[in-house]
A and B are shown apart, each in its own frame.
Chain A
Amino acid sequence: EAGVAQSPRYKIIEKRQSVAFWCNPISGHATLYWYQQILGQGPKLLIQFQNNGVVDDSQLPKDRFSAERLKGVDSTLKIQPAKLEDSAVYLCASRGGRAQTNEQFFGPGTRLTVL
């Protein structure tokens, strides 16, 4: 089965600009997560979706970050306006499917550099 797809793989922007990331989870996975991984740190959960509803967005900086998952499949994460401290790898993960295991499958991530 195909893995979690993310695009773009790399993005460089100036501070105060806007940026959007896209994620396509594994087919049939109802749960989708966005994590932020700053260099030298472990991933930190930003938001969790169950189908197209938000389960947990307690750590999402809502003044600048937004995310949506229309139709319960693909998801986009947006930052507007970006700050220097937003430089990180943004990882998308999905879980679910027929086996209903607890494993979260991660995509390769989008590496964001804010100058």
Chain B
Amino acid sequence: QKEVEQDPGPLSVPEGAIVSLNCTYSNSAFQYFMWYRQYSRKGPELLMYTYSSGNKEDGRFTAQVDKSSKYISLFIRDSQPSDSATYLCAMSGSGGGADGLTFGKGTHLIIQP
């Protein structure tokens, strides 16, 4: 069993839809949870950063962490074609996110105009 599981997709939705992406993990030591967006032939860029359980909202993006279920989610409201990319969940332990990150495989998201 991999430490972080993420459905690679592709996930195709129409413009304006609400998108739900998620990851499960097995290592209970993970405390810091991140979502990165990666466009083709580019490096990942940080979208959301959360500590422990709870919700965090930033514009059209909402990140949720449920440590009891070892399950994290990213919701995108009013999805746009420019949101088409690969979304990577990432996690780290007690180093405050300064540790090296453990990534999921990434979900390839396609927003249809």
Chain A interface residues (CB < 8 Å from chain B): 4, 31, 33, 35, 40-45, 48, 56, 91, 93, 95, 102-109, 111
Please give, as numbers and ranges, the residues of chain B lying within 8 Å of A104 by CB-CB distance: 46, 97, 101
Min C-beta distance of A99 to chain B, whole Å: 13
Residues of B in contact with A (beta carbons under 8 Å apart):
4, 6, 8, 32, 41-46, 49, 88, 90, 96-106
Which 10 residue pairs of A and B lie closest in terms of their CB atoms, listed nearest first? A42-B103, A102-B97, A106-B43, A45-B100, A48-B100, A106-B44, A103-B46, A43-B103, A108-B43, A42-B105
Q: A102-B49, A109-B41 are in contact. List 12 more A-B contacts (CB 8 A).
A: A35-B100, A42-B6, A42-B103, A42-B106, A43-B44, A44-B103, A45-B102, A56-B100, A95-B98, A102-B98, A104-B101, A108-B42
Please name all residues of chain A whose beta carbon is closer than 8 Å to the beta carbon of B43 when the two chains form the complex: 4, 91, 93, 106-109
Complex Cα distance, B44 from A108, in Å, reads 8
Contact B6 A56 (CB under 8 A): no
The secondary-structure label for the interface of chain B is: loop
Where chain A touches its partner, the secondary structure class is: strand
By beta carbon, the residue of chain A nearest B23 is A42
CB distance from B32 to the nearest CB of A (A): 7
A106 touches B45 (CB 8 A): yes
Q: How far is the CB of B49 from chain A (nearest CB, A)?
A: 7
Q: Smallest Cβ distance from A98 to chain B, in angstroms?
A: 15
Closest to A56 in B: B100
* CA–CA, A42 and B6, complex, Å: 10
